[in-house]
Amino acid sequence: MSSRNNLIDGRAIAQQIHLETSARVSALAKRGIQPGLVFIRVGEDPASQVYVGMKEKKCAELGIRSVTQVLPGSTSQSELVGMIDSFNADPQWHGILVQAPLPRHIDPATIYSRVAPSKDVDGFHPLNVGRLMLGDPTGFTPCTPGGVHELLIRSKVQLEGAEVVVLGRGNIVGKPMAALLVQKGRNANCTVTLCHSATRDIPTHCRRADIVIAAMGVPAFLKADMIRPGAVVIDVGVNRIPDPTARGGSRLVGDVDFAEVQPKAGLITPNPGGVGPMTIAMLLANTVRAAE
């Protein structure tokens, strides 16, 4: 297949979702409500600065009020908890996002479970994780798996009865992705295999799949001989690899060997330009739902 006709354009699909979100923001404005989203960043991780900057910019475009609280890397866990509690109690803020990664001395599980479930637009609170497992739509779905799900639905990929392999069992992508696709209901009903570092013979699992979702954090892991012709391939990976020719001496690559896999895939996400824009789109859609 040529590069022109089998790409899933994440930027275009994210833009559709932003238009829908914008209409919902306008409907809330008529009721005198402006959705508010708080970003909390601890330390000066360069990637976190970029990600939060992109999210702030999109908030401004859609009419969502946002504020970013930057705390020094030396901030104690109890100080961070205190800040979260104050935003939990403030009704003008509908969503709270604590940007990962956190400094080593702060326990992420403690922090994510401290955000009020009704403001947990990242979908990491145990209550929202439980709702996702139970197929309860009142919770918030984590943004990256939710974005992948929307990419598949809006690209008209047949999900009912599909064999799906998810590479990676992380709490942020792998496990919630499997939970979303295995539910009994519309746009789900998949048979899901969750592969990880202890899985025997990953290529055999992948070659059986109609859809492969790579989210294990290993650069260019998925090769052409690991998929069957016509499979749908979604690349969630974000890996920095050394590249002396690139500015800064490194570049970002996905978990899929794109140049090798693309000619064999039925549909494939580029990286960048695939899953990334969808994550932000789902975050802002969740924030508006929290305000609604």
**Which residue of the set 119, 120, 122, 175 is catalytic?**
122
Tokens standing for residue 151: 């990419």
Tokens standing for residue 111: 């922090």
Burial (CB < 10 A; 0-12, 13-18, 19+), residue 100, is middle
Residue with the two structure tokens 């360069």: 46
For 224, the 3-state DSSP assignment is helix
119 catalytic residue (yes or no)? no
34 catalytic residue (yes or no)? no
243 catalytic residue (yes or no)? no
Cβ contact 162:134 at 8 Å: no
Cβ contact 174:144 at 8 Å: no
DSSP 101-151: PPPTTS-HHHHHTTS-GGG-TTS-SHHHHHHHHHT-TTSPPPHHHHHHHHH
Closest by Cα among 214, 252, 231, 58 to 158 = 231
- For strand 250-253 and strand 232-235, is the pairing parallel, antiparallel, or unpaired? unpaired
**Which residue of the set 99, 119, 120, 262 is catalytic?**
99
Catalytic residues, by residue number, are: 55, 99, 122
